[in-house]
Every structure is written in structure tokens, then in C-alpha cells.
Amino acid sequence: MADQRQAETRSIIEACGALSEDDHVVNTGYSLRLTMDAIRSCGGEVVAAATWISRGNVGASDLDVDRYVFLDEVSLPSWPAETCPLCEKGMSVNTRFAHGADYLAERTSK
């Protein structure tokens, strides 16, 4: 996936010299960093990062940018599976969003 994203980013930068990525919610900054790495590898310059919602887990220095802008910061609790109160109650994992399907696949492969 990173190779495909890099190829798409390269073609956009070569065509118009700029790129904007829309990342609605930033948790770890992983997808933003992938895009910014692809931009830099194509000779582009990343001047800032922006999102609608930041979960407060990363800042500008974590993203290696001077400016990180967001409209709101929402602190949502998260736990490792070993200490998750929902897991302790036997509540099912949502496999439609985020990494729920990956989590279940990892647990069943053990």
C-alpha cells in the first residue's frame, strides 16, 4: 500500500507541484507520516500537517513539521487488550472500523 501511495503522490507532485491530504482523525499520525514521507521522497516539501480531529497523541515534532493544525482535540481512552475493560466484560470487537479485523485475525492465528 505504501508503494501505491508513493506512486500516486509522485504523479500528483510532478503534475502540479502540490498535494493536500485529508486525514479526518489523527491518532498515531501513521497515515500522515506515510504521505509526508512519500512527498519528501518525490522531492516535495511538507510545510504543515492538518486534520479535523486530533486525538492528542502526536504533535508537530512527532510529525516532523513546523506546524500541525487541527480543529478540535478529542481525548478518547484506549487500552491494550490485556487491560481493556470491554474485553474483560466479553464485549465484541467492532470489525467494521479501525483495526478491529486485524486484532481478531491476530488473536485467532495464535
CA distance 11 to 30: 21
Cβ-contact 25, 78 below 8 angstroms: no
List % helix, strand, coil for the chain (3-state, nearest 5). 45, 15, 45
Residue 90 is given by DSSP the state: T
Residue 96 is given by DSSP the state: S
* 9-19 per-position pLDDT tens digit: 666 666 655 55
* 89-106 per-position pLDDT tens digit: 887 777 776 677 777 777
